[in-house]
Amino acid sequence: MNRTAQITLIVTFPLFCWLGMQIVHESGHVIAAKATGGTIVAAVLYPTAISRTEVFPNPHPLIEVWAGPVIGSVLPLIAYLIAKLLRTPGAYLVRFFAGFCLAANGSYVLAGAIARMGDPGDLLRYGAARWQLIAFGFVTASLGLWLWNKLGPGFGLGSAKGKVSTLAALISVGLLFLTLTCELLFGHP
């Protein structure tokens, strides 16, 4: 059996999800910074760098920092709910992406609440309570893992025995290529 489409989907889609998750996460920071009167100094989105947004002045840093993981989790979840409501054929890919964003943002906030690093470290310095970060991280990461439940067949696993949609694999390659190209052309490390 030729598993080229399956391998292509399994390799390219998580890579796209990683880059896409960083985009929606940083979009949250940018949206909140602009909405609260902050000035964006830099928004780094580059394939070989960890994304970040620098804001100065930042009149409401607690709102701006929380917005990254919150918007970075909620927007993909809304996209999935819309895809499900519209019965979009590729809704399982949107569901995987939403689950990825929820699990990544939740794990990041949960780990950072313990290690006092990154955005969660900033949140603690700006007055957020550790229990808030732990609760957000636990609920968000758990919801992300729950969304992934039973998605294996869409990726050719289990009962699908390696069969996946060739169109899904091509869309995945296209999304990854487009995202990489944009970040390489317009982003900076």
CB-side neighbour CA atoms (13 Å) of 8: 19
- pLDDT for 85 equals 98
What CA–CA distances, in Å, run from 189 to 26, 30, 43, 47, 141? 14, 17, 10, 8, 28
- pLDDT for 13 equals 98
Predicted TM-score (pTM) above 0.85: yes
| Token pair for 103 | 């699990």
Query: Tell me: the pLDDT tens digits for 5-21?
Result: 999 999 999 999 999 99
Query: Tell me: the pLDDT tens digits for 14-58?
Result: 999 999 999 999 999 999 999 999 999 999 999 999 999 999 999
Q: Is the peptide bond before 57 cis (omega within 30 degrees of 0)?
A: yes
User: What phi, psi does 155 have (nearest 5°)?
Assistant: -105, 15
Query: Tell me: the pLDDT tens digits for 76-102?
Result: 999 999 999 999 999 999 999 999 999
**Every domain of the chain and the residues it spans:** 4-186
Query: Tell me: the pLDDT tens digits for 131-181?
Result: 999 999 999 999 999 999 999 999 999 999 999 999 999 999 999 999 999
Helical axes 91-115 vs 166-186, angle rounded to 10°: 50
- Res 189 pLDDT > 80: no
